[in-house]
Amino acid sequence: MIEVTEFHKAFADQVAVRGLSFCVEPGELLAIIGPNGAGKTTTMRAMAGIISASRGRLSIGGFDVEGDPIAAKSRLAFVPDDAPVFHDLTVEEHLSFYASVYRVSDAHSKAVALLKQFELTSKVRTPASNLSRGMRQKLAICCAYLHDPRAILVDEPLTGLDPQGIRVFKRSLQERAARGAAVVISSHMLAMVEDLCTHVLILAGGAQRFFGPVDQLRSSYDHVDAAAGLEEIYFAATAP
């Protein structure tokens, strides 16, 4: 569903990502982890078609993100860490707008279900400017889910969410994956990654240090204590 091949991105003379290749199949939840400046957000934004690759290929559902952007973007959803909203639009108007853009059939019933799931039903006529940051994040998630994307990209998704919101969101990602979506999460919250994700991509300095199923991490870093958790392996993998 998501395929990245020899992705390379440079900004002027600064290389952000170098030669990155990985894929995410339907039903898989991939975590991209690494220190600040590792290239996580750059990779997410390139997959979403927000920035272009310096070289390499990125595709969603077999459609090239740069060569066939409409087909690729119609199959994905991207939720950044501080999701932009239209401050003058209400919650209800946001969902109506997204339904129109993505030509969502049965948009009303889907919107009602999402608003109930993320506890926004009482806010349907509230302008986004009057929502808390956590509620704006929930609104962005509802909008992202509305067209039933086959690829879901979330960058630091828990920003601003309360514990209940975090639980609902994590369950929603698992449910979407169980229904065949490919999910990519960029996060510094290693406990969530260990609990939620099926695969891990570790980046450091723009380069890939590990990619594969979570249960293969220990065998790949067998010099780390056998009882080590993801945190210890992460530090071993990202060491200079």
pLDDT tens track for 206-225:
999 999 998 887 777 766 66
All residues at 6 or more sequence positions from 147 whose CB lies less than 8 Å from its CB, including other chains: 74, 77, 98, 99, 102, 104
Q: Over the stretch 88-144, which tens digit does the pLDDT of each residue have?
A: 999 999 999 999 999 998 999 999 999 999 999 999 999 999 999 999 999 999 999
Confidence of residue 240 (pLDDT cuts 50, 70, 90): confident
Q: Which CATH architecture has domain 2-75+149-238?
A: 3-Layer(aba) Sandwich (3.40)
Q: pTM higher than 0.85 for the full model?
A: yes
- C-alpha radius of gyration, the chain, whole number: 18
Structure tokens at 188: 């510094």
**Beta partners for 185?**
31, 154
Structure tokens at 90: 């209400």
**What CA–CA distance (Å, rounded) separates 133 from 6?**
36
Check residue 190 and give its pLDDT.
Answer: 86
Classify residue 59 by burial, with Cβ atoms within 10 Å: 0-12, 13-18, 19+.
buried
- Domain(s) labelled CATH 3.40.50.300 in the chain stretch across 2-75+149-238
